[in-house]
Amino acid sequence: MNLRKRTRGASAEVHTSAMNDIMFFLLLFFLIASTLTNPNVIKLSLPKSAAGKSIAKKTIIVSIKKDLTYYVDKKPVAVADLNAVLSTYKTADTEVTIVLYVDKVVAIQDVVSVMDIAQKLNIKLVLATEPK
């Protein structure tokens, strides 16, 4: 009779100390990445487009909300003062592009009026849309 204890091979253990470090670095990465994003303070529902293109030059963000309030770089501007405000950006830098954010319920005439101002000032204009 063999009455000796049988010793098992290696015991199965899981060390989770490395996983804690990885989770800490992932949390730190997402916290830093979320602070670098530029949140759009003015909430608009943009029209959708299949083709999209990003621009990297100096941009001026012009927004038109559905209650026809105009914003230039998140600052409210009266419609009558829009030409003067945009012309100050034109004199400051010659390569300027206007990114036009318009709520989808705004009439096209209001969009065309901003396009006319950009055409008079010889500024490129891009209409912002959401991807489908």
CATH code of 67's domain: 3.30.420.270
Mean pLDDT for 61-66 is: 91
Between CA 85 and CA 78 the distance in angstroms is 10
More confident of the two residues 8 and 16: 16
With a threshold of 0.85, does the pTM exceed it? no
Q: Residue 41: pLDDT band by 50, 70, 90 thresholds?
A: low
Between CA 55 and CA 99 the distance in angstroms is 9
The verdict on residue 109 lying in a domain is yes
- The helix or strand, by DSSP H or E, that contains position 99, with its residue range, turns out to be strand 96-102
The verdict on residue 42 lying in a domain is no
The verdict on residue 93 lying in a domain is yes
The verdict on residue 7 lying in a domain is no
The verdict on residue 14 lying in a domain is no
Average pLDDT, the chain: 80
Q: How many CB atoms lie within 10 A of CB 96?
A: 19
Nearest to 68 by CA among 56, 60, 76: 76
The verdict on residue 37 lying in a domain is no
Nearest to 44 by CA among 100, 131, 102, 98: 102
| Domain range enclosing 78 | 48-131
Half-sphere exposure for 36 (CA within 13 Å, toward CB): 6
Between CA 6 and CA 8 the distance in angstroms is 6
Give the number of domains in the chain: 1
The verdict on residue 1 lying in a domain is no
The verdict on residue 34 lying in a domain is no
Between CA 6 and CA 95 the distance in angstroms is 81
Mean pLDDT for 34-52 is: 65
Mean pLDDT for 104-118 is: 90
More confident of the two residues 107 and 94: 107
